[in-house]
Amino acid sequence: MSRTAEHPAVVVVGAGVAGLTLGNFLLRNGIGCVILEKESREQVEQRQRAGALDGRGVRMLREWGFGEVVDGFSTRTADTAYMPLLIEGETRLWNATGDDTEGIFCTQQALVQNLIRVFLRDGGDLRFEARDIGLADLRDRPTVRYQDAAGNPQVIGCALVAGCDGDRGVSRSSIPDGVLTRYAHEHGYAWLAVLADVPADPPAVMAVHSRGFAGQITRGPQASRFYLQCPLTDTLDEWPEERIWSELGARFGYPVGPGRITDSQLVPLRSVVYSPMRYGNLYLLGDAAHLVSPMSAKGMSMALHDAEVFARAAIHQVTQGDSSLLDAYTETCLRHIWNVQTAAVQITEIMHNGGDATYAGEFRKQLALAELRRMSEAPAAEPLSA
């Protein structure tokens, strides 16, 4: 039999960074919420995703009282040598500016584990293996139907639904055709993204090379995610392990790996924004509302921003009976999103145009290289010993 007596203020669909952050914010402020996640806890806690959180995101978590979920991660503050830039083999260091001085390297996997632990410890209601989620009556009093882990149908009534279930989730697909406008930019190339058992030291290295962009980002103490720029038409069959390690070595200018490869995928680089980020009492957060080029490493930070904006709005609605912040949700979020997208497109084009000139031409390559040298500096020479 299905339960129908539940009426939390908010149902959160999706237990990623956006959903879990939102759930923790609401719970800590006494707002009733339920988080539904279609996958098992084990699957959620093992998902390998982006590994950086900017200074704004770190400060936000601390200000809401959740500093414990980011404590212990490597900071990007201590030494810019943590993320060297290689330009045709020449080592340079990024000039640290703004939020970069407070950001951290943390895998989404580790952050999600911490957010789950804190949410459950504080008494949060998180339901894994919630399958066949369906949303109805979104313009009035929403109803959320799903099948629980035991296979029983369940029904929850709520005031608000937060769609935090990603680009392919049920939340955005529940909005009727014609409501949303999709803004998209295709960069014209892809990344071969490879997860391998190779430690990253330093935690991040990026290389601009005439053969194309390459990167290595830490994914914990014993693993790295490697990236190789490639044409959109490439297939995984064209990238055997031997070619991957050889190409990484050529672009970095030194031997890389080898190590056991546990995952490979081709990722077209694109930026996407949906507007509005609301339909009735359904609100879209994180990847359900926007995608940003992975070159920017801003995906988690954007999800946290959405979560904070919606949390403040929902708390204001429940405690004050005032919907003004909810009404302004799309405008507030999009103002931030477009600023981030602007910077993301710029850094993506600079890092790729500065290498392989076949995409944008030699003139744009020289512009990109000039900008990269402006944004970085050569390491100070070691003093000569007497």
pLDDT digits (tens, 9 = 90+) for 138-189: 999 999 999 999 999 999 999 999 999 999 999 999 999 999 999 999 999 9
- Reported residue count of the chain is 386
Grade residue 94 by pLDDT with cuts at 50, 70 and 90: confident
Tell me the one-letter amino acid at 94. Answer: W
Axis-axis angle for helices 299-320, 55-63 (nearest 10): 30
Strand order in the sheet with 282-284: 125-127, 33-36, 10-13, 160-163, 282-284, 278-279
Q: CB–CB of 265/193 below 8 Å?
A: yes
Domains located in the chain, CATH noted: 10-77+104-182+271-345 (3.50.50.60)
The SS3 of residue 129 is coil
pTM of this structure: 0.91
Q: Kindly report the three-state secondary structure assignment for every residue of 201-252.
A: CCCEEEEECCCCCEEEEECCCCCEEEEEEECCCCCHHHCCHHHHHHHHHHHH
Contacts with 71 (C-beta within 8 Å, 6 or more apart), sequence order: none
More confident residue, 274 or 4: 274
Q: CB–CB of 210/356 below 8 Å?
A: yes
Percent of the chain residues topping a pLDDT of 90: 78
Give me the phi and psi of 32, to 5 degrees please.
-65, 130
184: buried, middle or exposed (CB in 10 Å: 19+, 13-18, 0-12)? exposed
What would the pLDDT profile of 64-89 be if each residue is shown by its tens digit? 999 999 887 765 543 444 678 999 88
What would the pLDDT profile of 322-357 be if each residue is shown by its tens digit? 999 999 999 999 999 999 999 999 999 999 999 999
